Structure formats: C-alpha cells, structure tokens
Amino acid sequence: MDGLCLENLSKRFGDKLAVDDVSLEIPRGSWLVLAGPSGCGKTTLLRLIAGLEVPSAGQVYINQERVTHWPPAKRQVAMAFQQPSLIGHMTVRANWMFAMSSEKVDRGERQRRIEAAAEALDLASLLDRYPRELSGGECQRAALGRLLVRRPLLQLFDEPFNQLDLPLRTRLRRLLLEHPPCQETTTVFVTHDQSEAMTMADRLAIMWEGRLLQVGRPEELYCRPLYRQVAEFLGEPPMNFFQAYLRFSDGRWWLESHGARWLVCDPNSFSVKNPSLLPAAGQPTLVDVGVRPEHCRWCTEPPSLESGQLLTVPGQIRRLWYQGADRYAEIRCESLAVFLVRIPADELPPSDSHGWLVVPLDRLHLFDAQSGNRVN
C-alpha cells in the first residue's frame, strides 16, 4: 500500500518505553491526526517516522519502501515543529528557497510555489524580512510556508499551532485542509487539542502511555470509544463517569449503585464486546459508567416515561456555566456525585434548584473498572 506503514514500532529510553508496539497504516493522500495527552508518545512516534530517532524494534515503510534506518534527508519527509524553526540569518524567502534545495525543480517553479504560499499565508510583504523582524504569529506562518513550498512524500506536523491564538489557529487549520498540495500528500498531524483533532482528521488515532488505543473516523471514536481513556480524552466538556455494579439477574442485565437499580436491557439486545469481562449469573462486576453531557437531561418534575428506558436520579444544580451558544449545569446527585448537563438556552433553570437527572439507558458507555476496556 502506498502511504505510510508502521509495523510493531517501539522506542525505549532506558527503562521507559515511550512507544509500545505501534502498528498503523495510512493510505497515500489521507490525513491521520495523532492525539492524546502530553507525554503519551506522540512526538516520539513522529520523530521515528521522520528518522530523527532510531526505533528499538519494528519497521517504517513509506510508499512500500522500508526506510527504518534511512537518514531523514533520504525519506522525502517535511516536518513542521511546535516552535518555529527558521534559519535566523536568512530571510523568509531564502528560508523557503533553502527548503526546496533538495528537490529537482527549476527556479521558475520555486518562485511560483513561493508566491502561492505567500499569498495563502498573507506573507507577500514580509518575504524579505528576517525571522527577528517578525512577530510570533508571522514566524509560525513563515515556518509553515517552508513546508507548503515543498512536495514531499510525507508531511508531519508536531503541534504547530500550539502557541497561537484561536482565530489564527482556525485560519491555519482551514488553510492546510484546503491547500491542494496538502490534500494530495500523506499527512500525520500531532495534537493534544481534542477539538483540533476532531476537526482535522480523516482518521483519528488516540495514544495513551505509548500505546495506540483506537484508530477510526472521529465520529466513531466519539460515539463508541473502546477504552475509558479514549472516552475521557474526547469531548468538551468531558464525559461524565460514575461507578456501578453490572449484574445478570432474572434473565436481564442490571446496574446497581448506592441502593438504586436500573434495568440496562434484556440479554438479546446487550451487545458484548468482550464476554470475558461480563460477570457470571448473579455475580456483580464493577464498571465505570459514562454518559456525555449532551445526552443528559434536567427535569424539574420526575419523568413519566415507561420504566426501564431511563436512568433517573434526584439532584440539585450547584453551578451554571455559560459557554457561548451552550449552557451547562453542574448537578450534584445524591448517589452519583457530580454531573455536567447541557441545558437549552430557553430552559435555563435557576441555580440551587432541585430536580432529576435523566439519561436514556442506550446512551450509557460501560467500561471495566479495572482494565478500562469497553464492556457493552
């Protein structure tokens, strides 16, 4: 397969396993966003792909060629770093010219690429300035332009917008996604910003403690996370969690917590991801139960819907959040700790009011409390 292929790639620094047996395929011309918390191994994996680090085990293939021990210059890889990496004694134009020096293109083609990138990045009037004469945002755009003028086999981005203000970040994201050469090049984009990850990815990969947990379309990972860590990372505000016991009794699955008991569903409709995680008949298994704020409802009167379809818990509003078009209520439940609930703007309840937290049972995500693996 043309594109990028990683086979059982690992990297160890002394006793620390920074990248743990990562296998991944990225088709040619597609965008993969690699996301996860700080320190999870994203940048190390990117450096292994670029050839800036030598793997402890595993192989790297670019367009079906094994490049594991090739030097960076031979891999035809372009990389943008978190800090602008411009050559200080060269102008922006000279930096961009130098970036193309390894490519066999004539001066006219180089000039056309520079003009196109300068127009896209709004840097046409700054091409003859030195990095010290640019603002922080201008330096970051100039560093990005050095990548845009190239035509590599693979382009890598290591949190390039991390220190920019939100309007500029949004503008540069759009530029990358719409720039024709970027659309045709295999791309790995690293970020710890989950909203950036969701908006930029063809496919999204979540790393955690050096391991690749889940890869798929952003909506797949958001709606059906296979691990609690994925569920925790994706979503703003994050997913609500509480602990309960999952028990099979009377031919049905039940959740039990603090004396309350809810029917999850009958066994014929309970989708099991890992049967070994489920309890034997009558025996409970401790699970972490997750539900997203947008799937919760706040009711001032107890709901009268058919029993068994809803998880209903009394509670009190502790605090209201205003977040642009969305409003959130922080609910203190009597048995399930604190929940965040998205509230429609025209239904904003008073602070400190009492009511009921209501969640459809088919919106619950169940994870084994010990391993974090998805159960349902």
Q: What is the 3-state secondary structure (H, E, C) of the chain?
A: CCEEEEEEEEEEECCEEEEEEEEEEEECCCEEEEECCCCCCHHHHHHHHHCCCCCCEEEEEECCEECCCCCHHHCCEEEECCCCCCCCCCCHHHHHHHHCCCCCCCHHHHHHHHHHHHHHHCCHHHCCCCHHHCCHHHHHHHHHHHHHCCCCCEEEEECCCCCCCHHHHHHHHHHHHHCHHHHHCEEEEEECCHHHHHHHCCEEEEEECCEEEEEECHHHHHHCCCEHHHHHHCCCCCCEEEEEEEEEECCEEEEEECCEEEEEECHHHCCCCCHHHCCCCCCCEEEEEEECHHHCEEECCCCCCCCCCEEEEEEEEEEEEEECCEEEEEEEECCCEEEEEEECHHHCCCCCCEEEEEEEHHHCEEEECCCCEECC
Domains annotated on the chain, with CATH: 3-227 (3.40.50.300), 240-368 (2.40.50.140)
- What pLDDT shows up at residue 106? 86
For residue 101, CA distances in Å to 97, 98, 186 come to 6, 5, 21
CA angle 216, 361, 339 (to 5 degrees): 85
Nearest Cα to 188, choosing from 1, 43, 10?
Answer: 43
- What pLDDT shows up at residue 229? 94
- What pLDDT shows up at residue 278? 61
Question: What is the CB-side half-sphere exposure of residue 197 using CA atoms within 13 A?
Answer: 29
Structure tokens at 322: 């205003």
CA angle 87, 91, 96 (to 5 degrees): 75
Distance of alpha carbon 312 from alpha carbon 299, whole angstroms = 10
Supply the pTM of this predicted model. 0.85
Cβ neighbours of residue 212 closer than 8 Å, sequence gap 6 or more: 22, 23, 24, 205, 206
Distance of alpha carbon 170 from alpha carbon 199, whole angstroms = 10
Exposure string over 78-115, b if 16+ CB within 10 A, otherwise e: bbbeeebebeeeebbbebbbebbeeeeeeeeebeebbe
| Residue-level pLDDT, tens digit, the chain, 376 residues | 688 999 999 999 999 999 999 999 999 989 999 999 888 999 999 999 999 999 999 999 999 999 999 999 899 898 888 777 888 899 999 999 998 888 888 888 999 999 998 988 889 999 999 999 998 888 888 988 888 898 888 999 998 887 778 888 888 888 888 877 777 889 999 988 888 888 888 899 999 999 999 999 999 999 999 999 999 999 888 899 988 888 877 777 778 877 677 766 655 445 555 555 565 655 788 899 999 999 988 888 777 655 456 778 888 888 888 777 778 888 888 766 788 888 877 777 777 788 888 888 888 899 988 888 888 7
Structure tokens at 265: 């569903």
Residue 14 neighbours by CB distance under 10 Å? 6
Cβ neighbours of residue 60 closer than 8 Å, sequence gap 6 or more: 4, 5, 6, 7, 9, 48, 49, 66, 67, 68
For residue 366, CA distances in Å to 171, 224, 336 come to 38, 10, 15
- What pLDDT shows up at residue 247? 82
